[in-house]
Structures are given as C-alpha cells and as structure tokens.
Chain A
Amino acid sequence: MKFRSTDNYIATEDLTIAVNAAVALEKPLLVKGEPGTGKTMLAFEVAQSLNKEIITWHIKSTTTAQQGLYEYDAVSRLRDSQLGEEKVHEIANYIKKGKLWEAFESKKRLVLLIDEIDKADIEFPNDLLLELDKMEFYCYELQKTIKAKQRPIVIITSNNEKELPDAFLRRCFFHYIRFPDEKTMQAIVDVHFPKLDEKLFKNAMKVFYELRDIRGIKKKPSTSELLDWLKLLVVGKVGPAKLADLDLKEDLPPYIGALLKNEQDYDMLNRLRYGFRR
C-alpha cells in the first residue's frame, strides 16, 4: 500500500516519493516548510491513507527527550512509602510511559508524529538519536530494554526556529514542502471547495498572491489561511465582482483578518494604502 493524494489532501509527486521511501526504508521523515503548508496534516493523511493508527507527540519548549520515553515519578513513590502503600514495592507502578514507548509497544505498525521538533531545547534531537535509529531504549529503573515490536513510521515536522544537528539529520529523510504553485493550489482548493464559483476563485487568488508579494510581510498568508478565507468569502456571500477590481493600495479585502495574522502586517498594508512606500 502506498501513500498518495487523498480526497482531502493533495500531495505532489516529490512528496509522495519522499513519504513512500521513508516508509519502505523505515527512516524518519523530516518535513519542513512555511507555516500553513500542511506539515502536520501530512502525518494524519499518511496514517489515514495507509490505514494506520497515529500517535502524536507535540513538542514544547520544555519538552525533554526523556519525557517521550518514560518518566519515573520518584516523588509519589517516596510519598507512598511514607503512607505505607502496598504498590510502593513495584517500581513499575511509578513509571509513566511516554509517546515513544507507546509507539514501540504497539503490535501493529503505526504512525508517530513528532510535531515541531525545533521548539524544544537545542540538545533535544541529539538525545533521540539512538532511539530513532535503533528504535529502542533502555529503562534503567526496570533494567530492561524496550524495543519496537514494529518500527513505527516516524514523521517529524520543523518550523526552522532552530538548526537541527547534523547527526540527527543524517538519520532522517528530508522533505521541504514548497509553497504550492498555482496549479497545485487550484487542486488543493478544488478538494476543499468542489463547488466554488470559478470567477470568485480566480479573483480571490489574484488578491491572495498580490498580498503574498508585498515586500516585508512578516507572516505571509499560506494555504491554510487561503482555505479559511475562501470559506469566509463563501459563507459571507461575497460576490466575485467585489474582488475583481480590488486594489490593495486602495482597499482592504473583505475578511482580511483570516489572511493576515499580525498587526505589523496590517501596518504595512496601511502604509501601502496611504502611500508611505519605503
């Protein structure tokens, strides 16, 4: 079974090849790209199209690699020992399994999404080298090695906030999701809005790409913003004519809030409108 575009996700050829190679060779796939180009979505779509379960591990700035393996709750064990609890004699009672352990334990092959790996500490990827390579780790408290029964399909996303170490990159396949060209964009929109008025689509795309081209926009609107905006245009019954002659130097497009997500960008647009061009 191979991964390919689904009813609600358009995968370009390079992406499908990358995913299928990673699946076949049991290597983690590192996915990068502009925010909003569907990096996280990809993992769910891979799981769905290959008919696998998915475990997601969302990384935050405080996440440590150890948390993905397991955590030993020494404090509650100490407390239980003072209270004379029976379960204190079994150390396994105080081991909390992490997402990787969960994924390794599964009898069926599943998809493991490690989302936004760049959010964590700079050493985080290095701490996972062996685990991702050999798909095993050692639990000191239980004195046993936990080994994956079925190597999971690992998909890792990164927003490039931090550079990842070379040793880590070596172990991964890499794919950079490019911002879709107009043809791909058309396909993506078609999947989400099969009955969209063609004129409205054309005009909306024009505004959208113009907006993206403004120099100095901090957060360029991307695919997910476009889809949200189109939805608003449809729900708000905005006619194609309203967008036809829209000039960004004169007017703000309707529902602009769906496209621009920060106030500096509004500023930029306003400056453009009032003619303060840099």
Chain B
Amino acid sequence: MFIEFFLILKTTGLPVSLREFLTLLEALAKEALPYRVESFYYLSRTILVKHEQYLDRFDQIFGAYFKGIEEIDDALFLNIPEEWLRQNAERMFSEEEKAMIEAMGGLDKLMERLRELLDEQEGRHEGGNKWVGTGGTSPFGAFGYNPEGIRIGGESRQRRAVKIWEKREFKNLDDKVELNTRNMKMALKRLRILTREGRPEEIDVNGSIRRTSENGGMLELEMVPSRRNNVKVLLLLDVGGSMDDHIETCSQLFSAAKYEFKHLEYFYFHNCVYEQLWKDNMRRRSESVSTYEVLRTFNRDYKVIFVGDAAMSPYELTYPGGSVEYRNEEAGMVWLQRIKDRFPDMVWLNPLPVDYWEYYESLSLIQRFMDYRMFPLSLGGLAAAMKALKNRKLAFKQG
C-alpha cells in the first residue's frame, strides 16, 4: 500500500532502494506499532533515511504525501529575503518608480504581489505585463522597461552584471563523469604525499633479513608502518554565471579529484568567496555553511584548490556590498585573505585560456593576491599546480 509513497520518495531524489522498502514492510508486519501516524513516521524514517542531510527532504515529502497532496512543493522555490529588497530599494528605484510603487500600494504590497505572481506562475515567461519574466513592463524581471528593476531570473547579457537577483538552479557538478578523466587523474597523482605514519604493522622484509642474520639466524623482525597517501584537499569551485561555459571541464576535474584524493572536501561559491559556501547547488539557499565554519573545521594541512575564472566585477573583490547576489558586509578580498591566512598551500585553477587573462581586471587582482600561483585548467597547468602545492616557491609564468 505504500508503494506510491515509496515511488515518490525515489523520484524526488531520496536514495532509497527496494531493499529498504521491503524491510519497512517487514517491520510493519513484525512490530506491533500503535496506530498512530507518528509511529509510522518514525519507523519509516529510521529505515528509509540513511543520512541526516535527507531528513529534511523526507519530512517534506512525508508531510505532503500524508496530507493527501501528491504534488511536492518545489524545494527549489526561493523566498526572496525582504531585508535585501528593502536595503536595495532606495538605491535601485528612481523617484518616478518610487512614486509608482507608492501607487501600487507601497513596497509591502509589491512584495506580496511578487510572491503571488511567483506562486501563480509556472515555467518561463517572456513579454507581457503581468508575469515575472523577461522583456515586459512588469516591475519584476529582467531587461524590462524598468531598466534597473528587480531582476529575477534570466541571464545577464554582458555576463558581468553588477546586481542580479536570480533564482538560480545551478547545475551540480556531476562527479560521475568518467570520460577523459584518466589524464586528469594522472596529473593529480603528482600531489601524492606518501608517508609512513602510525603503527608499524608491515614487516620490513629487508630489515628483518638483516637483523635475523645479525642475530645468528634466529628470527628477528623489523616492522614499519605502511605507506599511505596523506594529502588533504579542499576544493572550492566557482559555479554559475560565466562559469557555465566551463561546466564540462570542471566536472571532469571534480570527478578525477574525487577519485584520487581520499581526503577531499569541496564547496561551491559564486564569483567570489564570502561568508557562505555550499555543497549542493540545488539547495544552496537552504543548506549553506558559514565560511568561518569551514575555516575552523579544516586544519592547516589541507591544500586549497580554487577553481574559477576570476572574471567578475572588481567591486566584488574590493568593496563591501559588491556581490552580485546580496549585500556582503565585507569585501571579497577580506574573505580571500582569511582563507590565505588559514591555509598556506593554495593554488587557483582557471579554465579561461591564458591569453585572455590580461583582459580582466579582477583576474589580475586575484593573480597578484595569489602570488601568481594561478594556473590554467589544462593538463599541463594542472600538473604544475599540483607541483606548486608541494613547493610554496613555485608560481606560474605567463608566456
């Protein structure tokens, strides 16, 4: 009877398998549970959910399903923080527009209307004067007659927007790509730091023979700890915007890195690192981690690899509030410096061809900041970057 429920869990991306479903049925048959939906909820949760990151999703689906609603609220729907709009309202609207807003009943009314519209609207929309979309006269949306209106969705034409509010659905970098990653894996292998550490648990054959013969033929053993790759890597990936052109390369890198480094941690950011990072692009607004948290969690042994094109508006680096997404209290550079202070071994991989580098002001800024340890995301660049992570004196020479 719960097959439908199970299928919905499966289609909404909760990793459940038939085995767990059968276990649940078995549990229901065996366990005399009180007839309460809570008990069923707890039981199914303990059997079907295997990781705390899925608890929330499970709760949502469970709630929706057992209310008799079969449509699950799109987890990607974002509520726009009112605070942000208010902060920016002053700056973003001209006097005329402000008057218009007043005419429509003030900002509160407008916000309400916006929510209604987002709720009502399904799919993408262009033109017209009601829906939130592109090219219309509605005060919401991109490229509208309200030139500096609130941008919701849509791609910036110059790819260097100074302010966007986008309901982004960044594509997660897929780490299952296996094609063409072998070369990258080989390049990444240069970062192996093999150490003999810990308990001696392997017999050192040569040493044992030597000692046994010294001992007049009586057995005498020599033990050594086994060799392990102890390198720890923290991968910080830029996603969205101009990085969309490089998704394939980045996915390959990510896939190779996941395979090669056992101690690999990764986080995403957009354009520049600020106080929040996230692990899942689909749920970045609900499940981000504070950058402070990341700085504290990982110790100095971690080698940091940035992956990004470093092409952004220079304000994003140098001014508080320069982020294209929200009001950041501190400039991007401040955050980069914090990361630099924490992790002495750091390189930047840039998917842009080296010839283009000089055309971006922000890129030069970051290059200087990184002490020229920015490498192109090519096989050669990758190998050089891995070398640089082992030798702090190495830098990338252009041309």
Q: Which residues of A contact B (CB under 8 A)?
A: 13-14, 17-18, 20-22, 24-25, 27, 29-30, 32, 61-62, 75, 78-79, 82, 122, 166, 169-170, 172-176, 215-216, 218, 264
Q: Are B47 and A79 in contact (CB under 8 A)?
A: no
Task: Choose from B23, B38, B45 the contact partner of A25 (Cβ within 8 Å).
Answer: B23
User: Which residues of B sit under 8 angstroms from A216, Cβ to Cβ?
Assistant: 290, 292-293, 296
User: Which residues of B sit under 8 angstroms from A17, Cβ to Cβ?
Assistant: 33, 39, 42-43, 46
Q: Is residue B219 contacting chain A, with contact meaning CB distance below 8 A?
A: yes
CB-CB under 8 A for A169 and B50, given A24-B30, A62-B199, A218-B296? yes
Number of A-B contacts (CB under 8 A): 68
Task: Choose from A14, A25, A172 the contact partner of B50 (Cβ within 8 Å).
Answer: A172
CB-CB under 8 A for A14 and B23, given A32-B52, A62-B199, A174-B50? no
Q: Are A27 and B39 in contact (CB under 8 A)?
A: no
In the bound complex, CA of A62 to CA of B199 (Å): 7
Q: Is residue B19 contacting chain A, with contact meaning CB distance below 8 A?
A: yes
Tell me how far the C-beta of B203 lies from the nearest C-beta in chain A, rounded to whole angstroms.
8
User: Which residues of B sit under 8 angstroms from A218, Cβ to Cβ?
Assistant: 296
In the bound complex, CA of A122 to CA of B221 (Å): 29
Q: Is residue B210 contacting chain A, with contact meaning CB distance below 8 A?
A: no
CB-CB under 8 A for A82 and B50, given A62-B198, A216-B292? no
CB-CB nearest 9 A-B residue pairs: A169-B50, A18-B46, A17-B42, A14-B42, A176-B52, A62-B199, A174-B50, A173-B46, A24-B30
User: Which residues of B sit under 8 angstroms from A30, Cβ to Cβ?
Assistant: 50
Q: Are B296 and A20 in contact (CB under 8 A)?
A: no
Q: Are A175 and B23 in contact (CB under 8 A)?
A: no
Q: Are A82 and B52 in contact (CB under 8 A)?
A: no
Q: Are B20 and A170 in contact (CB under 8 A)?
A: yes
CB-CB under 8 A for A170 and B17, given A21-B46, A27-B23, A176-B55? yes
Q: Are B42 and A18 in contact (CB under 8 A)?
A: yes
Name A22's closest neighbour in chain B (CB-CB). B46
User: Which residues of B sit under 8 angstroms from A32, Cβ to Cβ?
Assistant: 52
Q: Are A174 and B46 in contact (CB under 8 A)?
A: yes
Q: 11 A-B contacts, Cβ less than 8 Å apart?
A: A17-B42, A17-B43, A17-B46, A20-B31, A25-B23, A25-B27, A122-B262, A170-B50, A174-B46, A174-B51, A176-B55
In the bound complex, CA of A79 to CA of B217 (Å): 12
User: Which residues of B sit under 8 angstroms from A24, Cβ to Cβ?
Assistant: 27, 30-31
User: Which residues of A sit under 8 angstroms from B96, Cβ to Cβ?
Assistant: none
| Residue in B46, B47, B199, B293 whose Cβ sees the most chain A Cβ within 10 Å | B46
Apart from A14-B42, A17-B39, A215-B290: 13 A-B pairs, beta carbons within 8 A: A13-B38, A13-B39, A14-B45, A17-B42, A18-B43, A21-B46, A24-B30, A25-B26, A169-B50, A169-B51, A170-B19, A174-B50, A176-B52
B residues 11-64 touching A (CB-CB < 8 Å): 15, 17, 19-20, 23, 26-27, 30-31, 33, 38-39, 42-43, 45-47, 49-52, 55
